[in-house]
Amino acid sequence: MGILVLASLVLITVSFRSDALDPAEGVAATVLRPFEVAAERVSRPFRDAVGWTRDLVNAKSENEELRRQVKSLRRQVILNESAQQDVAHLQALLKFRDLPQFQKDYREVSARVLTNPANRFEQRVTISAGSNDGIAEQDVVVTGDGLVGQVTKAYPSVAVVTLVTDDDSAVRAVDLTSQGAVGILESGSGSGTLVLERVTKDRDVQRGDVIITAGSSGHGALPSLFPRNIPIGTVTSWGQTDTDLFKRIQVQPFVDLSSLQSVLVLVPKHPRPEVP
């Protein structure tokens, strides 16, 4: 018993203070990966059944809501396409030098989610792709619905992704409707919720507004790791008091981060600028 406790303490100390055990952990994770993939495949029908049942309960009310959204979005698409053509034309005229664009300047690496968050303190998942697939630390991770997080550790065949709901995560984000409402998106107090901080009180933010990544404000020394225009979520509520300097905006992410099954890692096509 004493020896095992001592061994645990030594492992904690070495693992916590240095990267000396990372290669060994990477090898062990690689060995474990096929078993995790197999377990995930075996359990998928059951997970799908649970998801199907849950969706069935909400289907009727969701259907009406979606029909209304489709009508509204159809009109919006036409307006957007027209606006996009104008923007492209104007940018060409101005020889506008843009920042890296979401999707266009990134290669997507799809990966399976091997493990969900280990505990309620850390919002991190492991995925079945790593540095062998070109993934590096700080790469942005998304799904078809929106932002998931970023890679915080890359082993040869697996990688650790820190979700946007983790305490250590911070993303520069903007309200799509009110473009001046730029703030920092951080973990909220509720499970799986986010808070958009540092949005000044004079900005008009409404419930239902869509929040997207803001990218960088210019070619500065410390550009944002997250490219602009990745959908994040919708505003569920906001508040401010006379003494507060900023609004406090609650955001519900588009992605269900509690049951991720697969993700896309955005690997930059061009090398990132060196951080001084």
Partner 1 sequence: MSLDPVKAFLVLFVAVLVQVSVLSAYTPFGGSANVVLVTLLSIALLRGSIFGAAAGFGAGLLLDVAYLETLGFTSLLLTIAGFWIGRYGETTARDRFHTPYTSVAVVTVLYAFGTLALRFFLGESAPAQLVVAALPGDLLLNLLLTLPVYALVRRLFPPAVSSDRVREVRLLG
Task: Return residues touching partner 1 (CB under 8 A).
Answer: 1, 4-5, 7-16, 21, 25, 28-29, 32, 35-36, 39-40, 43, 46-47, 50, 114-122, 124, 126, 153, 155, 158, 160, 167, 191, 258-259
184 CB-near residues (< 8 Å, 6+ apart):
170, 171, 172, 173, 196, 197, 198
**55 or 167: CB nearest partner 1:** 167
* In the complex, least distance from residue 238 CB atom to partner 1, rounded to whole angstroms: 23
* In the complex, least distance from residue 24 CB atom to partner 1, rounded to whole angstroms: 8
**48 or 108: CB nearest partner 1:** 48
Alpha helices by DSSP H, the chain: 2-17, 22-94
**35 or 96: CB nearest partner 1:** 35
* In the complex, least distance from residue 141 CB atom to partner 1, rounded to whole angstroms: 15
* In the complex, least distance from residue 10 CB atom to partner 1, rounded to whole angstroms: 7
Q: Which residues pair with 194 in a beta bridge?
A: 187, 251
d(Cα 233, Cα 239) in Å, to the nearest integer?
Answer: 17
Closest by CA to 144, choosing from 258, 261, 63, 268, is 261
Closest by CA to 188, choosing from 156, 164, 172, is 164
The burial class, CB within 10 Å (0-12 / 13-18 / 19+), for 156 is middle
* In the complex, least distance from residue 7 CB atom to partner 1, rounded to whole angstroms: 7
**169 or 213: CB nearest partner 1:** 169
Closest by CA to 165, choosing from 58, 263, 258, 40, is 258
Q: Which residues pair with 175 in a beta bridge?
A: 211
**7 or 87: CB nearest partner 1:** 7
**42 or 92: CB nearest partner 1:** 42
* In the complex, least distance from residue 257 CB atom to partner 1, rounded to whole angstroms: 11
Q: Which residues pair with 213 in a beta bridge?
A: 173
* C-beta separation of 251 from 212 below 8 A: no
Residue 119, token pair as written in the block: 């505990």
* In the complex, least distance from residue 243 CB atom to partner 1, rounded to whole angstroms: 24
Map tokens 């280990």 to a residue: 118
**162 or 213: CB nearest partner 1:** 162
